[in-house]
Amino acid sequence: MAMASMMKVVLGSIAFGFFWVLAVFPAVPFLPIGRTAGALLGAMLMVVFRVISPYEANEAIDLDILGLLFGTMVVSVYLERADMFKYLGKLLTWKSRGGKDLLFRVCLVSAISSALFTNDTCCILLTEFILKIARQNNLPPQPFLLALASSSNIGSAATPIGNPQNLVIAVQSKISFEKFLFGILPSMLLGVLVNGAILLCYFWKLLSIERDQEVEAEAGDLVVENEVINSHQSPHASSVNSRDFMNANSLPNSVAKDPPNENWKRFLWKICVYLVTIGMLVALFLGFNMSCTAVTAALALVVLDFKDARPCLEKVSYTLLVFFCGMFIAVHGFNKTGIPSTLWEAVERYSRIDSTGGIALLSVVILLLSNVASNVPTVLLLGSRVAASAASISATEEARAWLILAWVSTVAGNLSLLGSAANLIVCEQARRAQFYSYNLSFWSHLKFGVPSTIIVNAIGLPFIRSY
């Protein structure tokens, strides 16, 4: 694509600059309006500056991605109401054999649950539970918090519904859920194991401390705050509002015991929620339209609940949907300036995926851009270009290029504390925990994040295949 006129290039760069600054630094002193408003501002400037027309701005909004995102958020709300994440928390404590065993459990449980229920949701609902387990066992919280955040990011790479950038890739590439899963699953599983091994090497001595108390089998009164993060919060982080997970045995009998009919109704309702969720995953696996499947599952849960759906629908992060609309327009306008195409043409010949050196260079470009511009804009800027370059080799290589983009842009979130919303959620949830707060600092995360990101990316790349 040729460069646009100098006026469009300058004005488009200014508009995109507003979007980028406010997306990466939502509380900048000169304009502390947040990410969502920043995305809308960037989109509006693209139209006002006539970089794109109102019609082009409307066409830039991808309704399939918005539908898929909305549907998965609603399903997550109902799963949270059905105590799915409480049961996942209990799985961590079942017959635990010490700190090292517990660390690997956190890695595996957070990775698998993130692949199915999104990484941000899992971090919101598991952080305080993990802090409580660490306190009960006289173990340092830092390795377990790092395990939760990093493994959630790695695990979310395996499916189209694991994180927002994968949603974009799945819709744009038209890669089926099955091919996406099997293309990245080996890298994901190996990456989680390697990440856990790195954590063990870092914290071996601390995890060897004898426990003062046994791990409790019950997940007791875990209270998760509704407010997750302040200035650094991603809109996606609020897709599921937390509620109290209370141990019914700790309440007075008059409160804890529900009528038998109510207990049966709730039990059957939970079963229906899990069956609908399983049905959604099976439909995605069979190749049904992902957006329609997710929205259908969400509506099925609304009907099965048989009550006013407003309280549940209010928990959906509509700010995230608005953010995506603004981001689609801002990125499309920036693409129209010709700058991304010109920059890509300069490195395209050296970053083709038919050579080891090309894959390495492409991975470095994705990793750096994901940490500078965030992973979703990176996918929107590079996706079609990387795919077109690989398509000149073969259709199989085109699909593999999309999967490499999904893998690297997701694992890149582990590089620093600001690399992904999941990291920030764990940090803020831990800092605000009522019973046992802990401050996960930027530098303590960076010392682990840099080697982990580089090693996990390098080890996982050779195992990414397209089918």
Q: Provide the residue ranges of all domains of the chain, joining segments of one domain with +.
A: 6-463
Per-residue pLDDT of 417-430, as tens digits, reads: 778 878 877 887 78
Q: What is residue 209's predicted lDDT score, i.e. its pLDDT? A: 61
Q: What is residue 230's predicted lDDT score, i.e. its pLDDT? A: 41
Q: What is residue 287's predicted lDDT score, i.e. its pLDDT? A: 86
Per-residue pLDDT of 69-104, as tens digits, reads: 899 889 989 988 998 877 877 777 777 677 888 899
Sites in the chain below the pLDDT cut of 70: 1, 96, 209-258, 434-435
Residues near 320 by beta carbon (within 8 Å), at least 6 away in sequence:
36, 69, 73, 164, 234, 235, 236, 238, 239
Neighbours of 308 (CB within 10 A): 9
Q: What is residue 126's predicted lDDT score, i.e. its pLDDT? A: 84
- Provide the phi-psi class of 306: left if phi over 0, else alpha when psi is between -120 and 50, else beta: left
Note every long-range contact of 339-342, with CB atoms under 8 Å and residues 24 or more positions apart, other chains counting: 339/3, 339/9, 339/12, 339/13, 340/381, 340/382, 340/385, 341/1, 341/385, 342/3
Q: What is residue 257's predicted lDDT score, i.e. its pLDDT? A: 54
Residue 185 and residue 458 in contact, taking contact as beta carbons nearer than 8 Å: no
Sequence letter at residue 333? G
Q: What is residue 421's predicted lDDT score, i.e. its pLDDT? A: 77
Neighbours of 223 (CB within 10 A): 14
pTM of the entire predicted model: 0.78
Q: What is residue 249's predicted lDDT score, i.e. its pLDDT? A: 37
- The torsion angles phi and psi of 245, rounded to 5 degrees, stand at -105, 105
Q: What is residue 341's predicted lDDT score, i.e. its pLDDT? A: 87
Residues linked to residue 245 through DSSP beta bridges, in sequence order: 222
